Amino acid sequence: MIILETTDFTAGFYQISQSDFNKSGLQLAIDCNEKSLILHLLGVQLGNLFIADLDVNGVPQTQRFTDIFVAFDIQPDDCIFSSKGMKKMLQGFIYFLYTIDLNIDTTDTGIVTSDNENSSIIPGGTLYRNADKRWNDSLISSEAIQALICQDLTVYPEFKGQVFRPKFAGIL
């Protein structure tokens, strides 16, 4: 665990239905993506320093990292930036990365989608639009975190983060 656990997806905007069948897949999505998302956000050096600063509960101990971890609003010049916090940002990115592949399996006969007797699978466009919304909401927080860092690069001299790109499956 760096910051997220599967229990962070049991309720609210980022809720993912969990059972013994799919919980390991969600944990795998967290394990495979969480660190790379942090490194992308902050750059390799600052990202690794941030991760090393986390306690066993995934909370930073140093003020400079706490400042970018918690929710905040800033207004440099004429722009307003709002972050829901790094944990919520990561939840949105992981939600997207996990849910876009939920109904797809690779089998001997190729890539297939599952069928269900008791409910209807939503159309792919709707599924992707729902996942896109979580990703794009997280972009707002990632932009705010990077804007806060750029306000005072003397506090974050190691910063070399990259810009996340929006997802728009509905118009592709």
In the predicted model, what is the mean pLDDT of residues 143-155?
A: 96
Q: For residues 130 and 96, which has the higher predicted lDDT (pLDDT)? A: 96
CB-count exposure of residue 29 (10 Å: 0-12, 13-18, 19+): buried
Domain spans of the chain, in order of start:
6-61+68-167
Could you give the C-alpha distances from 89 to 22, 69, 128, 143, in angstroms and in order? Answer: 22, 10, 18, 10
Residue with the larger pLDDT of the pair 167 and 165: 165
65-80 tens-digit pLDDT:
999 999 999 998 889 9
Q: Which residue has the higher pLDDT, 33 or 115?
A: 33
Taking residues 15-24, report their average pLDDT.
Answer: 80
Residue 104: which H helix or E strand, with range?
strand 104-107
**Buried b vs exposed e over 37-60: b needs ≥16 C-beta within 10 Å?**
bbbbbbbeebbebbbeebeeebeb
